[in-house]
Amino acid sequence: MPVLEVDGKPLAQSYAINRFLARKYGLAGKDDWEASQLDSIADFKTDFQIEIRPYLIVAVGMAQGDKEKLFNEVFKPAFEKFAPVLLKLLQESGSGFYGKNGVSWVDFELAGLTLTMSGMHPELLEKYPELVKHMEKVHALPQLKNYIETRPKTPF
């Protein structure tokens, strides 16, 4: 479990940490409504991850199972359900990011998801080049570019 220590106090859970840092660094939305919209998108991503979990644990070798069957019956249908919604949300923002006022912590989350998807099943993203362009845009941010280029390569 991830833990961030701030002034000697631990803060656990990824999204709690993300939201704390986003508020601190101006990446949580410009107002309460935008922050809530971003939270909604992040929770939507979590719903997707929960839905594909049976496939993922087999795909990464954490459990036994029929990987191909789980891909076709779990992963692919979930992706085909969630990806169009993510694309629509991105397009509706009008900013090139998920928040209408620019880059947010949710963009980091979804760029990471797209990177993982591109490593696992790039063929699924062929239908969604805008999601790939979004990931590339996030990874090209000056504050992230060097880190992205030099970080260790990992499956997730």
How many whole angstroms separate alpha carbon 87 and alpha carbon 140? 19
Residue 155 has a pLDDT of 65
One-letter-per-residue 3-state SS of 86-141: HHHHHHHHCCCCCECCECCHHHHHHHHHHHHHHHHCHHHHCCCHHHHHHHHHHHCC
Residue 154 has a pLDDT of 75
How much is the average pLDDT of 133-138?
98
For residue 41, what is the enclosing H or E element? helix 32-59
Could you say which DSSP state residue 61 is in?
Answer: T
pLDDT in tens, 52-97: 999 999 999 999 999 999 999 999 999 999 999 999 999 999 999 9
Q: How far is CA 36 from CA 13, 46, 99, in A?
A: 18, 15, 10
**pTM (2 d.p.):** 0.91
In the chain, the N- to C-terminal Cα span, in Å, equals: 15
How much is the average pLDDT of 99-107?
97
Q: What is the domain partition of the chain in residue ranges? A: 32-150
pLDDT tier, 156 (very low <50, low <70, confident <90, very high otherwise):
low
Residue 132 clears pLDDT 90, i.e. is over it: yes
Residue 153 has a pLDDT of 80
Candidates 3.30.465.10, 1.10.600.10, 1.20.1050.10, 3.40.1160.10; correct CATH number of 32-150? 1.20.1050.10
